[in-house]
Amino acid sequence: MGQKKDLTGSEKSKIVRYLAEGCSSLKIAKLLMRDHRTIKRFIQNSQQGRKKRVEKPRRKITAHELRKVKRAAAKMPLATSLAIFQSCNITGVPKSTRCAILRDVAKVRKAERRPPLNKTHKLKRQDWAKKYLKTDFSKVLWTDEMRVSLDGPDGWARGWIGKGQRAPVRLRRQQGGGGVLVWAGIIKDELVGPFRVEDGVKLNSQSYCQFLEDTFFKQWYRKKSASFKKNMIFMQDNAPSHASKYSTAWLARKGIKEEKLMTWPPCSPDLNPIENLWSIIKCEIYKEGKRYTSLNSVWEAVVAAARNVDGEQIKTLTESMDGRLLSVLAKKGGYIGR
């Protein structure tokens, strides 16, 4: 019986099983047709267990260096530990030590999704709330665009996994996969659209106005009565393609001007009720970690989800405007909860 150097994984598993059954090392060697010394060596090594890892002393930093790290962390929000220490010219510190030091002076946080409001923003939000406090919001058409991707927003693919089960693999697309830009509006208890922006079209002033002409005006606005058009107020945010001189003049030629075109305060997505509609639609199309293989399939999912939004849900959103305005005034122009 020739002596071999290494035992295979299956042989090691069999040795453990034979030992549990009460077999001696000599009998196991005969069963596996391996040298007795090889079997005894494996059993002895297994019984000794792993050697404990010798912890190396951590690199200590001085109080002066710690103050520099604290100042750097304050000046460089969301920076990595390596970047912070490099900015302080502190080298030779392993990642575990850097993180341990930073935990005493900083915290790991994600970037805020909403931009901070300065004093001017808050004043304009308050002025806007006072201006439209007595407005009949059932006559306001709230509009906005939304982009949907094939895989959904980052961080949405979460859910409960049963004990003993593995989480499904979620691979990133090498080229991203693209997305679909969707425009819609809500007024009272009615949903206008959704309409799909043609793939590859970047919305500038000209393309935005042409898009409204082909969808909103031809397919919805034209069918409304003269009295409805006279009383309707059109709302859009301050995106460059919306607020440009070209778009404003074009809308004016369509009869949407002055009091019929709502002014909009800066940094105020929380005041637009259609943002809540987008949340409803996204929760529906991406539920249970749903992903899509084509832009047409995700667009069909958006249309189906929009059809499932009933008039009462839309009415709840549009009727929330009085409360939103009061909240803005109560918070002195600050963000309100949505």
16 and 89 together in one domain:
no
197 and 263 together in one domain:
yes
291 and 190 together in one domain:
yes
What is the tens place of the pLDDT at every residue in 189-243?
999 999 999 998 999 999 999 999 999 999 999 999 999 999 999 999 999 999 9
CATH of the domain at 147: 3.30.420.10
Select the more confidently predicted residue: 82 or 183.
183
What is the tens place of the pLDDT at every residue in 40-93?
888 887 766 555 666 666 667 888 988 998 888 888 877 888 888 999 998 888
198 and 323 together in one domain:
yes
92 and 150 together in one domain:
no
Angle CA 133–239–261, to nearest 5: 40
130 and 17 together in one domain:
no
189 and 319 together in one domain:
yes
**Separation CA 180–CA 184 (nearest Å):** 13
191 and 313 together in one domain:
yes
The amino acid sitting at 269 is P
Query: Domain for residue 304, yes or no?
Result: yes
Query: Domain for residue 217, yes or no?
Result: yes
Query: Domain for residue 166, yes or no?
Result: no
Select the more confidently predicted residue: 20 or 35.
35
40 and 17 together in one domain:
yes
15 and 131 together in one domain:
no
68 and 205 together in one domain:
no
Query: Domain for residue 83, yes or no?
Result: yes
Query: Domain for residue 53, yes or no?
Result: no
What is the tens place of the pLDDT at every residue in 268-321?
999 999 999 999 999 999 887 788 989 999 999 999 999 999 999 999 999 999
Number of domain units in the chain = 3
Query: Domain for residue 281, yes or no?
Result: yes
Query: Domain for residue 37, yes or no?
Result: yes
User: Is the Cβ–Cβ distance between 293 and 150 less than 8 Å?
Assistant: yes
Query: Domain for residue 172, yes or no?
Result: no
Statement: residue 6 has pLDDT above 50 = yes
Domain region containing 89: 63-105
User: What secondary structure does DSSP assign to 202-237, as a single string?
Assistant: ---HHHHHHHHIIIIIHHTGGGS-HHHHHH-EEE--
Distances from the Cα of 134 to the Cα of 206, 235, 281, angstroms: 34, 16, 30
Which range, of 24-28, 233-237, 263-267, averages the lowest pLDDT? 24-28
315 and 288 together in one domain:
yes
